[in-house]
């Protein structure tokens, strides 16, 4: 009996889990069958497969290329919103950026990296914060780099077009009216704000793109999808990417504890960041 398009056999599920882990280090455990099924149905349909079984057969025959990339992208989580969780952005505004500017002197330059940018709300939130609260920094002295493994959401981010629901999530109405323009039923962020952000593809478990030393690194709600060894490997690369006095933000449920003792946690009111621990 042939499988329906929304059913996945155990052997096929195990193959998908192994493929996704090898290509992205995302861990899919037993019990995630429904998640895999629901996310791969559209991939199967878009690629002319009559069932998930046929999709997996094609992947087994050619485990690299566009179809594999489509599967990996379908399995990545792209939950995001403007000024998500709020408190890290408050910390940037009140403490982190003022302290960095004081250290940088009369010609301050900042390099900021959002390492899981999804559809762009996080890096654009940082760009808006800088435009609103730190307009004294020359435009050419700010570099915001935003990366993600998912090429589809990166295309969305570069375009900077968001639905009414998306702009309603976390974006103050004053910023919406000041920095966005109507685009049909949607809203598009102004071109001068879009130009503040460089979007690039980056798979965190593969060699990272050439990025200058970073003052502020946002890598929020990403490590939770990896196993312990992958987390350790990524944190080791974070240390090399950060400036000695750079600041590193993780998600609220994430930590460097028991993973990399070279980081120290710094409490900033209702949120926390990490810095490279100074050696004696």
The catalytic residue positions are 39, 148
Torsion of the alpha carbons at 251, 256, 262 and 266, rounded to the nearest 10: 50
Q: Please, which contacts does 126-135 make with residues 24 or more away whose CB atoms are closer than 8 Å?
A: 126/89, 126/92, 126/218, 127/193, 127/196, 127/197, 128/175, 128/179, 128/193, 129/89, 129/92, 129/93, 130/97, 130/196, 131/179, 131/193, 131/196, 132/175, 133/93, 133/97, 134/97, 134/101
Q: If we measure between CA atoms, which residue out of 98, 237, 88 comes closest to residue 170?
A: 88
Q: Are 259 and 230 in contact (CB under 8 A)?
A: no
Q: Nearest-CA neighbor of 151 among 70, 56, 65?
A: 70
Token pair recorded at residue 84:
């998500």
CA neighbor of 7 nearest in space, from 47, 46, 56, 48: 56
Lookup result for tokens 């609220």: 252
Beta bridge partners, 10, equal: none
User: Among the residues of the chain, which ranges form H helices?
Assistant: 10-24, 33-46, 52-61, 66-75, 87-91, 97-104, 121-133, 151-159, 164-168, 173-179, 191-194, 228-241
d(CA 170, CA 85): 9
Beta bridge partners of 200: 147
Q: What are phi and psi of 147, to 5 degrees?
A: -130, 155
């Amino acid at each position: 009996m042939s499988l329906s398009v929304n059913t996945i056999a155990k052997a096929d599920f195990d193959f998908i889990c192994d493929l996704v882990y090898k290509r992205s280090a995302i861990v899919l455990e037993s019990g995630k069958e429904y998640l895999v099924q629901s996310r791969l149905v559209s991939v199967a349909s878009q690629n002319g497969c009559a069932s998930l079984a046929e999709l997996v057969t094609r992947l087994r025959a050619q485990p690299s290329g566009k179809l594999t990339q489509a599967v990996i992208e379908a399995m990545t989580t792209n939950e995001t919103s403007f000024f998500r969780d709020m408190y890290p952005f408050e910390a940037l505004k009140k403490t982190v950026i003022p302290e960095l500017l004081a250290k940088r002197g009369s010609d301050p330059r900042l390099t900021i990296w959002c390492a899981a940018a999804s559809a762009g709300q996080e890096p654009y939130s940082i760009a808006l914060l800088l435009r609103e609260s730190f307009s004294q920094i020359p435009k050419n002295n700010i570099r915001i780099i935003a990366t993600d493994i998912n090429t589809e959401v990166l295309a969305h981010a570069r375009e900077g077009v968001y639905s009414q629901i998306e702009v309603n999530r976390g974006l103050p109405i004053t910023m919406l009216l000041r920095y966005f323009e109507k685009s049909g039923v949607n809203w598009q962020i102004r071109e001068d704000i879009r130009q503040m952000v460089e979007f690039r593809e980056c798979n965190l478990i593969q060699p990272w793109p050439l990025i200058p030393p970073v003052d502020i690194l946002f890598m929020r709600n990403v490590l939770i999808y990896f196993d312990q060894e992958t987390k350790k490997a990524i944190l080791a690369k974070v240390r090399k990417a950060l400036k000695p006095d750079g600041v590193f933000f993780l998600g609220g449920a994430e930590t460097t504890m028991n993973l990399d003792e070279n980081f120290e946690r710094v409490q900033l009111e209702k949120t926390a960041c990490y810095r490279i621990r100074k050696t004696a």
